[in-house]
Structure 1
Amino acid sequence: MHRYPGIRSDSDLYTFGYRFKPWTSTPIATADETLKYMGEVIEDNGIDEHIRYQHQFDSASWSSDTQTGRLAGRCSDTGAPFAFTCNFLWMCQGYYEHARGYTPAWDGMDSFRGQIVHPQTWPENLDYRGKRVLVIGSGATTATIVPAIASDCEHVTVLQRSPTYFIPGRNENPLASQLRELQIDESWIHGSFAGRSSTSRLNSPSDVSNSRKPPRMNCWQGSATTCLTTTTSRRTSPRATGPGASASRSCRMGTFSKASRPARRTS
């Protein structure tokens, strides 16, 4: 569904991966790595014959008379209608509206002379080279798009509501790498970092000796896959209106240019 530049997982694949298919690559996977992994899971376990591709559901209803559910829709490639009945329906479509992304209206949108692009419907051949780009928001999508396009754009500005900060990420798990060098079984390694075994979760071989360091410093010196956060320190602003109003100490606008060091978003 998503095809924007730099797309990758926003959580480590030890968490997202399956225990019966241990994840063996870098913690934060690219889109191609994720597709390859899922393809292997489907093929290795004979799941393909149970999947209906290119099916778009339009409605789901329940019949108390027959004690069954009914799903109806159309095939997205041919437009042919279809209907299925089931005894159990498990909704796994996530929280995205797949037909179109949410784009709020704001004053002046109609008179804007540039191009407005939603990441969910990113054009395949969008040319942003040499352009001045404004990215609204600072979530997982922004954290992957901005480093991917910054070197090609004249200037990239990030507009955000809640202050966040990013640190350079090292997409690796040193302890997992050392366990592989010791030829530890991959399923054990995967289960350990997914929190599925009795072993305490460690991010780095030096976690014990670094226990007195600030948690975020430990994280950065380890795999740096969980180091995104929002600013919680606030002060009262004399310009704020209303009782108890406050303003963040951090700047709400960040900019990226060609000279910017690529940052990594982590979950």
Structure 2
Amino acid sequence: MKKILLPTDFSKNSKRAMDFAASLFSKEDCLFYVLHAHQAITSKETGESGVEQKLEKLISELNGMENRNHRFETVLVQEIPLNAINVSIIDKDVDFMVMGTKGTTALAKIFMGSTAVSVLRHINNCPIIVVPENYDERPIKEIVFVNNFKHLFRMEELNPLKYLIKIRKAMLIIVRFSTSEALKDQQKLNRELLKNNLAEVPHQFKTVPLETSVSSSIKKLLEQHKGVGIVALLKSKHSFLEKLLWEPVIRNVAFTTRVPLLVLPNFE
């Protein structure tokens, strides 16, 4: 049984992220933890009992989907959202976290703009699926994995990606956005090892000319390939990637495209 964390601030966007998660894992046995984190509350309307009622109503709506494979449990924590998320991932042994990019409360303030990059950096032990506010409800026929082959992948880093490919029966497209620079020997070796590690799932390698930025290149690719339902990226610790790829991609792709973004943890 997979354990999925669903942070909520009761906004429409967080509900859409939950709907996406329920659809993504529709045929899988899953236990969903619906997490709401709050700090000190004083008003009667937003007091803890009021929040509990909102959570109960939300769980009732989710159970109304009538998927026998899915169970939902509430997690109510008086803590800042980032700490609550980190603790929940560890305590509940979470396999995936699925959340929206915008909302109306403290959770929204974290997952907007450059602050979102900071939060994603702090969650190091769980794959995160970020669902855009207006994501396209499209069949997930293909998953794009953006890669420059500078990282030597461990099996556990690829397992979440392979799992999603299998349950969705999707094709994995490993995309390298290329300038005129040729692959170095280590990149060629990493590419070959990656190919071997992905042998059990359908995949293909694709080299695409780099546009003005990686994010604009991804957007153009998505426009050309309507079957792409998820874009995957590795969370990189390398300063070069952080400057030239990591922050621009997260900022421009996660918050302006209509395709969910999968951020894979880096166990380096």
Taking structure 1 as the reference length, the TM-score comes to 0.29
Taking structure 2 as the reference length, the TM-score comes to 0.29
Mark the structure with the bigger radius of gyration: 1
Higher strand share: 2
